[in-house]
Structure 1
Amino acid sequence: MIDRVITSGTFSLDGGTWEVDNNVWLVGDAREVVVIDAAHDAAPIADRVGERAVRAIVCTHAHNDHINAAGALAGLTGAPIRLHPADQVLWEQQYGDSLAYEPLADGEKITLGGTTLQILHTPGHAPGAVCVYAPDLGALFSGDTLFKGGPGATGRSYSSFDTIIASIRERLLTLPPETVVHTGHGDSTSIGAEAPHLEEWIARGH
């Protein structure tokens, strides 16, 4: 039901470029999947999809390392690309006006294979950052909003530490503590493992 492909490439913003490994998450069943964050290379993602239909390519935010394979994967699969429109300025840095996406809305639900994915708008790392919550699976796909050990980075353009803390406090730490958090980079964690450290992050961040 949940599968991961790790792809490698670069993240570029504010004139800097860094080497990164990204988690690409596939959620679905034997017939159809949603791909979360088509990063770097469409080929291994398409290989893992196999013969299944791709219902949507959901972007947790529009930093280039999370969307730079979305266009190619959409071309291979015919799937729509979904993004919160508050990240339009970041989307344009990668694609200009050459590629369209369908807007994601806070609270929107995507149902496939007997599972419902709920979109939670969690700005801070980026204005249009979202997390994808699958209550049936006890899972949250957090993009770069929440990691094992703390919140996503907020030191670059279009980001805000206070905003990401509010998003985590109000939208994520209210989820069941046993919820497994599948992140955009690195290892998975859980809501229960991260919740006790909120005040430490706030102290560290300020």
Structure 2
Amino acid sequence: MKITTYISPLLEQNMYIVGEDRHCIVIDPYYDENVAVLLENKIVDLILLTHEHYDHISGVNKFKEMYGCKLLANSKCNYNLQRPTKNFSKYFEAYYEFQSDLKKPDFDFDNNYSCSADEIFEESITFKWQNNTVFIKVVPGHSAGGNFIFFDENTLFSGDILLDESVPAAKFPGGNQKAFIDVALPYINTLPPDIVVYPGHGDSFSLQEYYGYIE
């Protein structure tokens, strides 16, 4: 299994292409001409999302159009995907204006962006893909529709629930600091310390590196 990271211009968000031979699953899609080159001669089997915020979902509709692939998402995520005020596309440009340290991309945002899942699950789902076991579990805290995506128990795509610098703020609408502390952190501490975490922003790290902060 090969993991390719593509850093998008939207808040330097990580899109991941998980590949086996010519087949791939795309996590948190962004689309431009550079991504098209990366996916040349590839078969996109599925789109997965770590959560519903615009910087992590902006490529969903384009991927569906270009590759004929389906989106699998949990029901809370799917509800927010269809609402620009919930997926934050409505406020994305304003966010850049209030964050003077961020460089705004030189293209227009779709401030009325929406998309929807083709297949929906509730709290968790497990399935096989190219001889890999994929397990997705809803994990609260950063957003209402956030989840962890595991491949074969040793690789975790955490979105913005776990980042390499600190526990991400739950101050955005849909975030819940109490749920993060009471539900997410106890679950995180049950995971093997050598699991490799691929976050929504920044570099990958082992969970062991994170334990000193979250315990």
SS at match of 1:89: helix
Percent identity reads 26
Read off the aligned partner of 1:61 and give its amino acid letter.
Answer: H
Aligned residues of 1:61 and 1:84 also touching (Cα < 8 A): no
Read off the aligned partner of 1:22 and give its amino acid letter.
Answer: Q
Determine if the alignment matches structure 1 residue 132 to structure 2 residue 149: yes
Deviation at 1:43, TM superposition (A): 3.4
CA–CA separation in structure 2 for the residues paired with 1:117 and 1:164: 23
Higher strand proportion (structure 1 or 2):
1
SS at match of 1:8: coil
Aligned residues of 2:47 and 2:60 also touching (Cα < 8 A): yes
* Structure 1 residue aligned with 2:163: 147
* Structure 2 residue aligned with 1:185: 201
Deviation at 1:90, TM superposition (A): 4.8
Q: Which of the numbers 67, 73, 84 marks the counterpart of 1:83? A: 73
Deviation at 1:167, TM superposition (A): 4.0
Read off the aligned partner of 1:27 and give its amino acid letter.
Answer: V
Read off the aligned partner of 1:130 and give its amino acid letter.
Answer: N
* Structure 1 residue aligned with 2:51: 61
CA–CA separation in structure 2 for the residues paired with 1:99 and 1:89: 9
Deviation at 1:29, TM superposition (A): 0.6
1:187–1:158: structure 2 CA closer, same or farther, 3 Å change rule? same
CA–CA separation in structure 2 for the residues paired with 1:105 and 1:34: 20
1:99–1:22: structure 2 CA closer, same or farther, 3 Å change rule? closer
SS at match of 2:69: coil
CA–CA separation in structure 2 for the residues paired with 1:90 and 1:158: 13
TM-score where L is the length of structure 1: 0.82
Aligned residues of 2:155 and 2:196 also touching (Cα < 8 A): yes
Aligned residues of 1:62 and 1:91 also touching (Cα < 8 A): no
Determine if the alignment matches structure 1 residue 197 to structure 2 residue 213: yes
TM-score where L is the length of structure 2: 0.79
**Aligned counterparts, 1:15-34, within 5 A:** 20-34=11-25
- Count of aligned residue pairs for this structure pair: 187
SS at match of 2:36: helix
Q: Write the deviation string for residues 85-140 of structure 1: whole angstroms up to 9, x where unpaired.
A: 2131354115979643121343312322221111011111111101101135x210
Deviation at 1:187, TM superposition (A): 1.3
